[in-house]
Amino acid sequence: MNAAPKTLRHLSDLQGAGLTSADQRAALEKVAAQYAIAITPEMTELIDRADPRDPIARQFVPDAAELDATPGERADPIGDHAHSPVEGIVHRYPDRVLLKLTHVCAVYCRFCFRREMIGPAAEPLTAGQLDVALGYIAAHPEIWEVVLTGGDPLVLSARRLRQVVSRLSAIAHVKVIRVHSRVPVADPACITPELVRALKAKGKATYVVLHANHARELTDAAREACARLIDAGIPMLSQSVLLRGVNDDAATLGALMRALVETRVKPYYLHQGDLAPGTAHLRTGIGEGQDLMRALRGRYSGLCQPTFVLDIPGGWGKVPIGPSAAVAGDRAGQWIVEDSAGCRHRYPPAADADRDS
């Protein structure tokens, strides 16, 4: 009997699976010593070995380019540490906090903005630290939403998640629990009925935000995992990262957004790549992202439109950076509006509307 496929965690595993070669070993050992590796069987199966620039491989297979740090890159690119009053909490915005339950993921993305902090060697949040973190949330009535993140919270057992969700449900001012995860695509079998039940809390709204970057990630099994959540009354949104060689053309990005909508997952955020060390080879320019957003707007349903955002380096928060279709005209109250084909139109003040009609 053949052994069940396993998650690839070591360079020898990658080489055995045909994802790396012997002549890459020396350089990749340096990468592996610094950044965690894990590729689940579901993601391994999607990789086209005949394509040296396969978009799934680019997300998960280590690359020697990760050793090349560029100016401006930083270990904590979005400034988590600056807004962490207690271990496990990031309180950057008044009405919500991140609760980082674990530093472990089902897969390790080569572009991860927390790549210096996550991996199997990282210390998990202890029971005492969790008590302090939940105490912080309880003591701050302005906190309306708690975002479970990490690492990936859905690698935890249903029992563990149920305990955390139950304790959050006892905090009256917390109304929304949001879960950020790659597990529905990376390891869809983990989305069991028991886990789905564990995420629901009486009197609270639970949302799951799926991280997916390419339409091929939305396999039949992934769509079924999402359906288990959605059919149980848990709405799903998506977040994707704009990545060079993965989804940086309009057709590929549009196919991803359509696949998400077909799965009943509403596109939410498209992230500009963060300035994590060794990720320049995967990062696009902001202008490229704005051009792609223009193309999406002109070609695809409004359901397929995410918000293009940047987490300002240093902890200053997330801001929309999509293209603006309207600029002030040369008369007071007048605007010049650009359509999806690039043609410009004058939008007159209300008083001028009748005269121009």
Work out the average pLDDT over 295-320.
94
CATH numeric code, 81-320 = 3.20.20.70
pLDDT at 350 over 60: no
Confidence (pLDDT) at 353: 47
Q: Is the pLDDT of residue 248 over 60?
A: yes
pLDDT of 129: 97
Q: Phi/psi of residue 162, each to 5°?
A: -60, -40
Distance CA 262, CA 293 (A): 20
Range in 19-23, 92-96, 244-248, 343-347 with the lowest mean pLDDT: 343-347
* DSSP string across 47-83: --TT-TT-HHHHHHS--GGGG---TT--SSTT-TGGG
**Nearest alpha carbon to residue 101 among 76, 115, 85, 118:** 118
For the chain, the structural domain boundaries read 11-67, 81-320, 326-356
Q: Which residues share a beta bridge with 319? A: 310
Residue 2: Cβ-neighbour burial (10 angstroms; 0-12, 13-18, 19+)? exposed
pLDDT of 53 over the 70 cut: yes
Residue of 238, 337, 345, 246 lying closest to 288 (CA atoms): 246
pLDDT at 352 over 80: no
- What would you measure as the largest C-alpha separation in the chain, in angstroms? 81
The residues assigned a catalytic role are 92-93, 96, 105, 109, 112, 114, 274, 311, 318
Q: Which of 195, 264, 254, 257 is nearest to 224 (CA)?
A: 264
For residue 265, what are its two tokens? 């997952």
How far apart are alpha carbons 222 and 215 in whole angstroms?
11
Q: Is 278 helix (H, G, I), strand (E, B) or coil?
A: coil
Distance CA 54, CA 256 (A): 15
